[in-house]
Structure 1
Amino acid sequence: MTDVLTRLRTIRHRNGWIFGTMLVSSVLSLLASFVLAVEAVNLAADPDATLSCNINAVISCGTVAGSWQAHLFGFPNAFLGIAAEPVVITIAVASLGGVRFPRWFMLAAQVIYTLGLLFAYWLFYESMFDIGALCPWCLLVTVSTTFVFMSLTHVNIRDGNLYLPARAQRALMAAIDVDLDLIAVTIWLLVLALAVVLKYGSALFG
């Protein structure tokens, strides 16, 4: 059993696993963004259109898409994902092929994607506590964005791309060496799932 766990940990720290996770997650986020963009266009053409993911009062893409939060910059937020995720996909594919990007580039990617993560969670918060409805495709974007962020942060810490003080770099290296990043993300997503269930309960399936 110990040997199996050691092998799994070894695999997880390889570029194939890290950038493979980044690639799959960003592709899922791009897919969800594309679907959301199509639905936004459909709603613009027909505000009374019934969307495929309008399941009940809580699980309702239409309710979320009709909110001001869904058009924060004057256009559907999904277009941001369509613009951003191909860049992440390119980084993942190139890195899987052996390309090593400059430190400044990876730092810039980290900063920009951190802003994207914060935006995704702001939208999640607004859906939960202001809009009062959840969009399955939006939730997929939130989860996949979280995994991309985890993968990007992991590799940037490992490769020393964040220009951190030596003590902070050593501490973070020790954390990812024992997979604390994966543990933290797993717990975080479970907490979010629990929060959704506790807030909406049986209404999720009503």
Structure 2
Amino acid sequence: MSTSEQSSRAPHRGTAIEMAISGVIGLCASFVLSIEAWQLASDDGRRFSCDVSSVLSCSAVASTPQARVLGFPNAFLGIFFEAIVLAVSFALIAGVRFPKWYILCVEALYTIGVLFAYWLFTQSYFVIHVLCPWCLLITVTTTLVWFGLTRVCIKQGVLPAPNWWKAVMESGGDWLVAVLVITAILAMIAFRYGPLLFG
């Protein structure tokens, strides 16, 4: 492999490793939520270790209609999305270059996933007024994976991007945007609930 090929693959590999780590964390959280959903189905009065307070409560969120948008626990969708991104991430780490149509389909699918995650967050924040710690973790990991996948798509020419944004990506500025988005979410939670989170 030439030096130029190694240098061109290095950014993808680093991004793919970040995606894989985030995907593994998100997959574990989805598995936990899936198990708890089944346990809650058999005992609707059950409480879990993540039921920290009246504001942070997995079981309270899992008992709402928003937790079963398609008629089954949303966590099953999380397992599906994370499994896809993990397969892609490990392939990218191995140096696989996917056809444009394939990686574009993965990007479109995961965009639906990240929008769904943020819709669930807004439902918890503005409608249910209770937050699920595992769901928040999935929102964070989904955000990181989406930014990573979008970076790969732009670098491979699958998605168009203006030169200024490409320059921002080269300096790592897109990761700063991801961190700012996550920080904004945490700030919203802290501003609204503050001491109630653990009280």
TM-score normalised by the shorter chain: which range applies?
over 0.9
Q: Normalization by structure 2: what TM-score?
A: 0.92
Of 153, 158, 181, the match for 1:188: 181
- Aligned pair count? 191
Give the Cα–Cα distance (whole angstroms) in 1 for the partners of residues 120 and 56 of structure 2: 15
Alignment partner, residue 43 of structure 1: 40
Instruction: Tell me if the contact between 1:157 and 1:172 (Cα under 8 Å) persists in the aligned partners.
Output: no
Structure 1 stretches of 5 or more lacking a match? 1-9
Query: Which whole-Å CA distance do the structure 2 matches of 1:123 and 1:184 have between them?
Result: 21
Superposition map of 1:64-75 within 5 A: 64-75=61-72
Distance 1:137 1:15 in 2: 28
1:201 CA displacement: 1.0
In the TM superposition, what is the alpha-carbon distance from 1:95 to its structure 2 partner? 1.0
- Name which of 14, 18, 30 aligns with 1:17: 14
- What residue is the counterpart of 1:153 in the other structure? 150
Query: Counterpart of 1:116?
Result: 113
Q: Distance in 2 between matches of 1:90 and 1:186?
A: 24
Matching of residue 170 in structure 1 with residue 173 in structure 2: no
Q: Does structure 2 conserve the Cα–Cα contact (< 8 Å) formed by 1:58 and 1:204?
A: yes
1:60 paired to 2:57:
yes
Asked whether 1:198 is paired with 2:191, we answer yes
**Are the equivalent residues in 2 in contact too, given 1:59–1:134 (CA < 8 A)?**
yes
| TM-superposition CA deviations, 1:141-178 (whole Å, max 9, x none) | 0000000001101111111112x3xxx44333122112
Whether the aligned pair in 2 keeps the contact of 1:33 and 1:81 (CA below 8 Å) is: yes
Q: For 1:43-75, what per-residue CA distance to the aligned partner results, in whole angstroms no more than 9, with x for missing partners?
A: 000101111111110010011000100001100
Counterpart code for 2:186: A
Q: Structure 2, unaligned stretches of length 5 or more?
A: 1-6
Which amino acid is the alignment partner of residue 151 of structure 1? G
- Which residue number corresponds to residue 4 of structure 2? none
Written as runs of structure 1 = structure 2, the 5 A alignment for 1:61-140 is 61-140=58-137
Paired AA for residue 50 in structure 1: R
SS of residue in 2 equivalent to 1:14: helix
Following the alignment from structure 2 to structure 1, what is the Cα–Cα distance between the partners of residues 134 and 69? 18
Question: Matches of 2:77 and 2:32 in 1, distance apart?
Answer: 13
**Cα distance in 1 between the residues matched to 2:90 and 2:173:** 25
Provide TM-score, normalisation by structure 1.
0.89
Counterpart Cα distance in 2 of 1:203 and 1:95: 42
Contact 1:160–1:169 under 8 Å retained in 2: no
